[in-house]
């Protein structure tokens, strides 16, 4: 199977429509139809059901969609990492983390690593929440600071950095602000304080009553104004100012901050960073 065929198939599967897919691929529809037909013939597998209104995926097609995406990401990663490795003759590493994430932890890690003999140059790339794992998958980054259970860690090697509980942040004057602890269920169903909605990777928001937000300070501002409440790892308490109250959550999942890197990493810099992290 060639990556060209995979790209074509993924496009058609995602668009559920040959015409739009061809458009997206910058080609015309007939060769695309032919390529997919040929792929099906070569695999000996029916991937799509042609309907008069577009196409649907078969079971096999769904498998190829998810596996194919992963395979394409792996190929893209190979290409990106090769290019980057060639660009910098000395060992260098791209580390990505959530913008506004626990910076004292990263400072500690980077400082400790910098003291190592022949430490590689570490370029830190801060990106919006949820973008770290994809960057690691497609080779834009070599290491990432991720958060379990929020990020999808599948396919990465990891070493834990810290673990913490989660807390509910409510406005200072709110009736619940005097509570010491509560359950997650109770926290998610406060009548007058709907939890905010965070954007998906593509920038869209889930349905629901809460406000659409994507920024920590923005959220805390809105909590202060009595418009929402929010569940966050307890380390945010370091950034809290007046007007906010913290309630422990008894049954919220622990949040683990991990250092993650792709398998088959040949970079000595990554290895050194991991070694340093494991000693912290």
Partner DNA sequence: AGGCCCGATACCGCAGGGGTATCGGTGCTG
Partner DNA sequence: CAGCACCGATACCCCTGCGGTATCGGGCCT
Among 3, 24, 30, 250, binds DNA (CB under 7 A): 30
- According to the binding rule CB under 7 A, does residue 28 interact with DNA? yes
Cβ(276)–Cβ(112) below 8 Å: yes
Rounded to an integer, what distance in angstroms lies between the CA atom of residue 188 and that of residue 178? 17
CA-derived radius of gyration, the chain: 23
CB 255 within 8 A of CB 233: yes
57 backbone dihedrals φ, ψ, rounded to 5°: -90, 140
Q: Which does 64 bind (CB under 5 to 8 A by kind): DNA, a second copy, none?
A: a second copy
Cβ at position 253, least distance to a second copy in Å? 15
As a whole number of Å, the end-to-end CA separation of the chain is: 44
Cα(58)–Cα(226) distance, integer angstroms: 48
The distance of closest approach from Cβ of residue 89 to a second copy in the complex, given in angstroms and rounded to an integer, is 8
Kindly list the residues in this chain that would bind a second copy in the complex (CB under 8 A).
1-4, 6, 43-47, 58-60, 62-64, 66-71, 74-75, 77-79, 81-83, 85-86, 89, 139, 153-157, 262-264, 266
Report in angstroms how near the CB of residue 99 gets to a second copy at its nearest.
25
Chosen residue from 10, 11, 36, 65 binding DNA by CB under 7 A: 36
Select 1 or 172, whichever has its Cβ closest to a second copy: 1
Nearer to a second copy by C-beta: 92 or 221? 92
Whichever of 26 and 44 has its CB closer to DNA, that residue is 26
Q: Which does 74 bind (CB under 5 to 8 A by kind): DNA, a second copy, none?
A: a second copy
Closest CA to 123 of 156, 96, 84, 90: 96
Torsion of CA 80, 31, 43, 154, to 10 degrees: 30
Residue 123, φ and ψ in degrees, nearest 5: -100, 120
Residue range at the interface with DNA (CB under 7 A); choices 45-53, 95-103, 187-195, 272-280:
45-53
Q: How far apart are alpha carbons 188 and 247 in whole angstroms? A: 13
Tell me which of 3, 38, 82, 163 binds DNA, using CB under 7 A: 38
How many Å apart are CA 40 and CA 79, to the nearest integer?
27
By beta-carbon proximity to a second copy, the closer residue of 5 and 15 is 5
**Residue ranges in contact with DNA by CB under 7 A:** 4, 17-19, 26-31, 33-38, 50-55
């Amino acid at each position: 199977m060639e990556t060209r065929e995979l790209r074509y198939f993924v496009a058609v599967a995602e668009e559920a429509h040959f015409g739009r897919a061809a458009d997206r691929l910058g080609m015309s529809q007939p060769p695309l139809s032919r390529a997919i037909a040929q792929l099906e013939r070569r695999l000996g597998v029916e991937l799509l059901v042609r309907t008069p209104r577009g196409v649907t995926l078969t079971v096999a097609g769904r498998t190829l969609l998810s596996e194919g995406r992963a395979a394409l990401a792996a190929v893209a990663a190979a290409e990106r990492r090769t290019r980057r490795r060639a660009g910098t003759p000395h060992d260098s590493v791209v580390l990505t983390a959530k913008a506004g994430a626990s910076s004292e932890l990263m400072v500690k890690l980077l400082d400790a690593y910098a003291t190592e003999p022949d430490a590689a140059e570490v370029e830190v790339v801060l990106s919006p929440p949820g973008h770290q794992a994809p960057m690691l998958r497609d080779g834009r980054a070599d290491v990432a600071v991720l958060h379990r259970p929020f990020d999808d860690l599948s396919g990465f090697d990891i070493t834990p950095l810290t673990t913490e509980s989660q807390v509910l942040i409510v406005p200072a004057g709110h009736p619940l602000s005097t509570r010491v602890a509560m359950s997650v269920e109770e926290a998610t169903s406060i009548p007058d304080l709907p939890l905010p909605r965070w954007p998906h990777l593509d920038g869209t928001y889930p349905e629901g009553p809460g406000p659409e937000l994507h920024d920590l300070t923005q959220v805390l501002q809105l909590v202060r104004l009595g418009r929402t409440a929010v569940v966050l790892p307890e380390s945010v308490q370091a950034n809290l100012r007046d007007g906010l109250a913290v309630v422990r959550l008894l049954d919220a999942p622990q949040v683990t901050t991990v250092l993650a890197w792709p398998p088959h990493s040949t970079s000595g810099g990554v290895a050194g960073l991991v070694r340093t992290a494991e000693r912290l």
